[in-house]
A and B are shown apart, each in its own frame.
Chain A
Amino acid sequence: AQSVSQHNHHVILSEAASLELGCNYSYGGTVNLFWYVQYPGQHLQLLLKYFSGDPLVKGIKGFEAEFIKSKFSFNLRKPSVQWSDTAEYFCAVKGKAAGNKLTFGGGTRVLVKP
């Protein structure tokens, strides 16, 4: 079975600070990895995804994530956050042999203070 663990439930930081959200997954085979974001009052939307190739993936709004296979990790980063990055962030995994089920982590609420 596949599972995802997000280390921080809540993160509070000031504008221009750097952000890193941890994500570890559990799955024995090839995986596809995702970060989804939910802004206040909006629906979940895709931020970025990793399938193969370069383990450093760039997404929308200046976010990037690095897949480290040996650590089963897919951490999300942004060098300088803005107030508009206030949102809940979800890491998700889809194992190649696990059908079409996307398994989400518990989410990290990020509050960026202006």
Chain B
Amino acid sequence: DTGVSQDPRHKITKRGQNVTFRCDPISEHNRLYWYRQTLGQGPEFLTYFQNEAQLEKSRLLSDRFSAERPKGSFSTLEIQRTEQGDSAMYLCASSMSPWTVDNEKLFFGSGTQLSVL
């Protein structure tokens, strides 16, 4: 499967612990996005990278959240001092630069389901 892969699929942690998720985008895609989805809601934008540069970050994202994409390939999303409200599905998506309409398409991974106890 050459799609977007995310690891782990599930993560259970205790409140106050730090967690890190990984996303491997489709190899030729230079854009990478992180979204969060809670039950009954649509995906909510968190942040986005063009290559290794983080170009946009949601104002809803607290400073406990940090994302990196050091070499412009895989990305990590870290949540420090987790809270119960952080429980959600964390989705990663990738795309090519939208030079053409055909490129305007996000390819999503299966997500990491975080449960904070």
6 A-B pairs with the lowest CB-CB distances in the bound complex, closest first: A104-B42, A44-B108, A43-B108, A101-B45, A104-B43, A46-B105
By a CB distance below 8 angstroms, the chain B residues around A92 are 42
A-B CB pair tally, cutoff 8 Å: 55
| Chain B residue with the shortest CB-CB distance to A107 | B42
CB distance from B95 to the nearest CB of A (A): 9
Interface residues on B, range: 20 to 34
Among the listed A32, A43, A100, which residue makes an inter-chain contact with B56, where contact means beta carbons less than 8 Å apart?
A: A100
The answer to whether B55 touches A43 (Cβ under 8 A) is: no
Q: Does chain B have a CB within 8 A of A106?
A: yes
Q: Which residues of B contact A (CB under 8 A)?
A: 3-4, 31, 33, 35, 40-45, 48, 55-56, 58, 91, 93, 98, 101, 104-111
CB distance from A58 to the nearest CB of B (A): 14
Rounded to whole angstroms, the CA-CA distance of A94 and B43 in the bound complex is: 14
By a CB distance below 8 angstroms, the chain A residues around B3 are 43
Q: Does chain B have a CB within 8 A of A102?
A: yes
Rounded to whole angstroms, the CA-CA distance of A100 and B35 in the bound complex is: 13
Q: Does chain B have a CB within 8 A of A30?
A: no
Rounded to whole angstroms, the CA-CA distance of A99 and B56 in the bound complex is: 8
